[in-house]
Structure 1
Protein backbone atom coordinates (compact mmCIF):
# COMPACT_ATOMS: atom_id res chain seq x y z
CA UNK A 1 0.00 0.00 0.00
CA UNK A 2 1.35 3.43 -0.93
CA UNK A 3 1.48 6.18 1.65
CA UNK A 4 -0.29 9.41 0.76
CA UNK A 5 3.05 11.19 0.38
CA UNK A 6 4.19 8.68 -2.24
CA UNK A 7 1.63 9.91 -4.76
CA UNK A 8 1.68 13.36 -6.40
CA UNK A 9 -1.17 15.65 -5.31
CA UNK A 10 -1.98 19.28 -6.06
CA UNK A 11 -0.65 21.60 -3.38
CA UNK A 12 -1.39 25.06 -4.74
CA UNK A 13 -4.85 26.44 -5.24
CA UNK A 14 -6.41 28.05 -8.27
CA UNK A 15 -5.46 31.67 -8.86
CA UNK A 16 -8.67 33.03 -7.30
CA UNK A 17 -8.20 31.07 -4.08
CA UNK A 18 -4.42 31.57 -3.95
CA UNK A 19 -4.54 35.38 -3.99
CA UNK A 20 -7.20 35.41 -1.27
CA UNK A 21 -5.26 33.36 1.30
CA UNK A 22 -3.59 34.54 4.50
CA UNK A 23 0.08 34.80 3.52
CA UNK A 24 1.13 35.53 7.10
CA UNK A 25 0.18 31.96 8.03
CA UNK A 26 3.04 29.46 7.79
CA UNK A 27 0.59 26.72 6.81
CA UNK A 28 -1.51 26.01 3.73
CA UNK A 29 -5.10 27.16 3.97
CA UNK A 30 -6.49 23.85 2.75
CA UNK A 31 -6.63 20.99 5.23
CA UNK A 32 -5.93 18.36 2.56
CA UNK A 33 -2.66 20.12 1.67
CA UNK A 34 -1.59 20.32 5.33
CA UNK A 35 -2.33 16.61 5.79
CA UNK A 36 -0.40 15.80 2.61
CA UNK A 37 2.66 17.86 3.62
CA UNK A 38 2.57 16.31 7.11
CA UNK A 39 2.80 12.86 5.53
CA UNK A 40 6.33 13.48 4.21
CA UNK A 41 9.48 12.44 6.01
CA UNK A 42 10.97 15.36 7.99
CA UNK A 43 14.21 15.20 5.96
CA UNK A 44 12.47 16.55 2.83
CA UNK A 45 11.35 19.70 4.69
CA UNK A 46 7.97 19.73 2.96
CA UNK A 47 6.67 22.86 4.71
CA UNK A 48 9.87 24.80 4.05
CA UNK A 49 9.68 23.90 0.36
CA UNK A 50 5.98 24.74 0.25
CA UNK A 51 6.56 28.16 1.80
CA UNK A 52 9.44 28.95 -0.58
CA UNK A 53 7.34 27.97 -3.60
CA UNK A 54 4.31 29.87 -2.26
CA UNK A 55 6.43 32.99 -1.76
CA UNK A 56 7.78 32.71 -5.30
CA UNK A 57 4.28 32.29 -6.73
CA UNK A 58 2.98 35.21 -4.69
CA UNK A 59 5.53 37.48 -6.35
CA UNK A 60 3.88 36.66 -9.70
CA UNK A 61 0.28 36.78 -8.53
CA UNK A 62 -0.52 40.10 -10.20
CA UNK A 63 -1.25 38.23 -13.46
CA UNK A 64 -3.46 35.13 -13.43
CA UNK A 65 -1.95 33.68 -16.62
CA UNK A 66 1.63 34.04 -15.37
CA UNK A 67 0.64 32.63 -11.98
CA UNK A 68 -1.08 29.59 -13.51
CA UNK A 69 1.87 28.81 -15.77
CA UNK A 70 4.42 29.22 -12.99
CA UNK A 71 2.27 27.29 -10.51
CA UNK A 72 2.29 24.28 -12.83
CA UNK A 73 6.07 24.22 -13.10
CA UNK A 74 6.94 25.18 -9.53
CA UNK A 75 4.47 22.70 -8.07
CA UNK A 76 5.77 19.90 -10.28
CA UNK A 77 9.39 20.67 -9.33
CA UNK A 78 8.55 20.80 -5.61
CA UNK A 79 6.67 17.50 -5.78
CA UNK A 80 9.50 15.91 -7.76
CA UNK A 81 12.07 17.03 -5.18
CA UNK A 82 10.04 15.54 -2.31
CA UNK A 83 8.69 12.40 -3.99
CA UNK A 84 11.38 11.35 -6.45
CA UNK A 85 14.62 12.89 -5.16
CA UNK A 86 13.52 12.82 -1.50
CA UNK A 87 15.53 15.98 -1.06
CA UNK A 88 14.63 19.41 0.34
CA UNK A 89 13.60 21.94 -2.31
CA UNK A 90 16.19 24.38 -0.92
CA UNK A 91 19.05 21.93 -1.55
CA UNK A 92 18.49 21.27 -5.24
CA UNK A 93 21.61 21.73 -7.38
CA UNK A 94 22.38 21.86 -11.09
CA UNK A 95 22.54 18.07 -11.45
CA UNK A 96 19.11 17.88 -9.83
CA UNK A 97 17.80 20.31 -12.45
CA UNK A 98 19.15 18.09 -15.20
CA UNK A 99 17.62 15.03 -13.52
CA UNK A 100 14.30 16.86 -13.25
CA UNK A 101 14.30 17.77 -16.95
CA UNK A 102 14.97 14.13 -17.81
CA UNK A 103 12.12 13.11 -15.51
CA UNK A 104 9.78 15.53 -17.32
CA UNK A 105 10.72 13.96 -20.66
CA UNK A 106 9.56 10.56 -19.44
CA UNK A 107 7.37 10.87 -16.32
CA UNK A 108 5.86 7.84 -14.57
CA UNK A 109 2.26 6.98 -15.45
CA UNK A 110 0.89 8.22 -12.11
CA UNK A 111 2.22 11.71 -12.93
CA UNK A 112 0.36 11.84 -16.24
CA UNK A 113 -3.30 12.71 -16.64
CA UNK A 114 -5.24 12.00 -19.84
CA UNK A 115 -7.05 15.36 -19.62
CA UNK A 116 -6.72 18.64 -17.77
CA UNK A 117 -8.75 18.37 -14.58
CA UNK A 118 -9.94 20.78 -11.94
CA UNK A 119 -7.86 21.11 -8.80
CA UNK A 120 -9.19 19.94 -5.44
CA UNK A 121 -12.34 18.53 -7.02
CA UNK A 122 -13.70 16.73 -3.96
CA UNK A 123 -16.42 18.61 -2.14
CA UNK A 124 -15.01 17.53 1.23
CA UNK A 125 -11.46 18.70 0.39
CA UNK A 126 -10.12 15.48 1.92
CA UNK A 127 -9.28 13.85 -1.38
CA UNK A 128 -7.85 15.42 -4.49
CA UNK A 129 -6.90 14.10 -7.88
CA UNK A 130 -3.63 14.55 -9.66
CA UNK A 131 -3.07 14.74 -13.37
CA UNK A 132 -0.99 17.80 -14.07
CA UNK A 133 1.15 16.30 -16.82
CA UNK A 134 -0.93 15.55 -19.90
CA UNK A 135 -0.23 12.70 -22.28
CA UNK A 136 -0.09 13.94 -25.88
CA UNK A 137 -2.72 12.60 -28.27
CA UNK A 138 -1.61 10.52 -31.23
CA UNK A 139 -2.24 12.38 -34.48
Structure 2
Protein backbone atom coordinates (compact mmCIF):
# COMPACT_ATOMS: atom_id res chain seq x y z
CA UNK A 1 0.00 0.00 0.00
CA UNK A 2 1.45 3.37 -1.00
CA UNK A 3 0.57 6.50 0.97
CA UNK A 4 1.58 10.12 0.46
CA UNK A 5 0.57 13.67 1.30
CA UNK A 6 0.60 16.07 -1.62
CA UNK A 7 -0.03 19.80 -1.88
CA UNK A 8 -2.79 20.61 -4.37
CA UNK A 9 -1.96 23.75 -6.36
CA UNK A 10 -3.73 23.49 -9.71
CA UNK A 11 -7.37 23.70 -10.69
CA UNK A 12 -7.20 20.10 -11.91
CA UNK A 13 -5.91 18.93 -8.53
CA UNK A 14 -8.60 20.96 -6.73
CA UNK A 15 -11.19 19.41 -9.05
CA UNK A 16 -9.84 15.94 -8.28
CA UNK A 17 -10.31 16.67 -4.54
CA UNK A 18 -13.87 17.96 -4.97
CA UNK A 19 -15.71 14.61 -4.54
CA UNK A 20 -14.16 14.23 -1.08
CA UNK A 21 -14.49 17.92 -0.13
CA UNK A 22 -18.13 17.87 -1.25
CA UNK A 23 -18.84 15.40 1.59
CA UNK A 24 -18.02 18.22 4.04
CA UNK A 25 -19.13 21.23 2.01
CA UNK A 26 -22.37 19.81 0.66
CA UNK A 27 -23.73 23.25 -0.27
CA UNK A 28 -21.05 23.80 -2.94
CA UNK A 29 -21.18 22.92 -6.60
CA UNK A 30 -17.92 22.45 -8.52
CA UNK A 31 -17.86 25.93 -10.08
CA UNK A 32 -18.49 27.73 -6.79
CA UNK A 33 -15.96 25.54 -5.01
CA UNK A 34 -13.26 26.30 -7.60
CA UNK A 35 -14.03 30.02 -7.46
CA UNK A 36 -13.74 30.02 -3.66
CA UNK A 37 -10.56 27.94 -3.57
CA UNK A 38 -8.96 30.11 -6.25
CA UNK A 39 -9.84 33.33 -4.39
CA UNK A 40 -8.76 31.99 -0.99
CA UNK A 41 -5.50 30.70 -2.48
CA UNK A 42 -4.71 34.02 -4.19
CA UNK A 43 -5.87 36.42 -1.45
CA UNK A 44 -5.60 34.51 1.85
CA UNK A 45 -2.71 32.09 1.20
CA UNK A 46 -5.12 29.14 1.54
CA UNK A 47 -3.29 25.84 1.16
CA UNK A 48 -4.88 22.53 0.24
CA UNK A 49 -3.29 19.13 0.78
CA UNK A 50 -4.56 15.64 0.09
CA UNK A 51 -3.72 12.28 1.59
CA UNK A 52 -3.42 9.64 -1.12
CA UNK A 53 -3.72 5.92 -0.52
CA UNK A 54 -2.81 3.77 -3.51
CA UNK A 55 -3.08 6.80 -5.79
CA UNK A 56 -6.59 7.79 -4.64
CA UNK A 57 -7.46 10.90 -2.62
CA UNK A 58 -8.90 9.68 0.67
CA UNK A 59 -8.63 12.81 2.81
CA UNK A 60 -8.35 16.56 2.16
CA UNK A 61 -7.34 19.49 4.34
CA UNK A 62 -7.45 23.22 3.64
CA UNK A 63 -5.78 25.76 5.91
CA UNK A 64 -4.56 29.33 6.13
CA UNK A 65 -1.51 30.70 7.92
CA UNK A 66 -2.69 33.63 10.03
CA UNK A 67 -1.59 36.15 12.64
CA UNK A 68 -3.95 37.53 15.27
CA UNK A 69 -3.51 39.18 18.63
CA UNK A 70 -5.31 36.27 20.33
CA UNK A 71 -3.40 33.32 18.84
CA UNK A 72 -0.26 35.01 17.52
CA UNK A 73 1.17 33.13 14.49
CA UNK A 74 -1.07 30.13 13.87
CA UNK A 75 -2.64 27.89 11.26
CA UNK A 76 -6.41 28.00 10.84
CA UNK A 77 -7.79 24.72 9.51
CA UNK A 78 -10.73 25.65 7.30
CA UNK A 79 -11.59 22.19 6.00
CA UNK A 80 -10.72 18.63 6.99
CA UNK A 81 -12.60 15.66 5.58
CA UNK A 82 -11.97 12.00 4.94
CA UNK A 83 -13.97 10.12 2.33
CA UNK A 84 -16.83 8.46 4.16
CA UNK A 85 -15.90 5.05 2.77
CA UNK A 86 -12.37 5.47 4.17
CA UNK A 87 -13.09 6.80 7.67
CA UNK A 88 -11.56 5.20 10.77
CA UNK A 89 -8.40 4.25 8.84
CA UNK A 90 -6.33 7.07 10.39
CA UNK A 91 -6.08 9.14 7.20
CA UNK A 92 -7.50 12.34 8.72
CA UNK A 93 -5.16 12.02 11.68
CA UNK A 94 -2.16 11.50 9.41
CA UNK A 95 -3.13 14.52 7.33
CA UNK A 96 -3.64 16.90 10.25
CA UNK A 97 -0.42 15.61 11.84
CA UNK A 98 1.30 16.57 8.58
CA UNK A 99 -0.13 20.10 8.99
CA UNK A 100 1.12 20.22 12.60
CA UNK A 101 4.62 19.44 11.34
CA UNK A 102 4.26 21.95 8.48
CA UNK A 103 3.25 24.60 11.03
CA UNK A 104 6.21 23.85 13.31
CA UNK A 105 8.61 23.89 10.37
CA UNK A 106 7.28 27.29 9.29
CA UNK A 107 7.44 28.80 12.81
CA UNK A 108 3.74 28.84 13.64
CA UNK A 109 2.80 28.51 17.30
CA UNK A 110 -0.45 26.58 17.10
CA UNK A 111 -3.17 25.07 14.94
CA UNK A 112 -6.82 26.04 15.44
CA UNK A 113 -10.12 25.10 13.85
CA UNK A 114 -13.85 25.28 14.36
CA UNK A 115 -16.26 22.38 14.12
CA UNK A 116 -20.03 22.50 13.73
CA UNK A 117 -22.01 21.94 16.91
CA UNK A 118 -23.68 18.84 15.42
CA UNK A 119 -20.36 17.11 14.62
CA UNK A 120 -19.94 15.30 17.92
CA UNK A 121 -17.81 12.50 16.43
CA UNK A 122 -15.42 15.11 15.06
CA UNK A 123 -15.25 16.80 18.47
CA UNK A 124 -14.24 13.53 20.12
CA UNK A 125 -11.62 13.03 17.41
CA UNK A 126 -10.09 16.48 18.00
CA UNK A 127 -10.23 16.32 21.80
CA UNK A 128 -9.46 12.67 22.50
CA UNK A 129 -7.28 11.56 19.59
CA UNK A 130 -5.49 14.81 18.76
CA UNK A 131 -5.42 16.46 22.22
CA UNK A 132 -7.03 19.73 21.06
CA UNK A 133 -8.48 22.03 23.72
CA UNK A 134 -11.96 23.53 23.40
CA UNK A 135 -11.15 27.24 23.84
CA UNK A 136 -14.08 29.23 22.47
CA UNK A 137 -17.35 29.35 20.62
CA UNK A 138 -17.46 30.67 17.08
CA UNK A 139 -20.33 33.03 16.26
CA UNK A 140 -21.61 33.92 12.82
CA UNK A 141 -24.07 36.53 11.55
CA UNK A 142 -25.46 36.10 8.06
CA UNK A 143 -25.55 39.57 6.45
CA UNK A 144 -27.62 38.54 3.41
CA UNK A 145 -30.84 38.17 5.45
What is the TM-score when the length of structure 2 is the normalising length? 0.29
Using CA pairs under 8 Å that are at least 6 residues apart, name the structure with larger relative contact order, 1 or 2: 1
Using structure 1 for the length normalisation, give the TM-score: 0.30
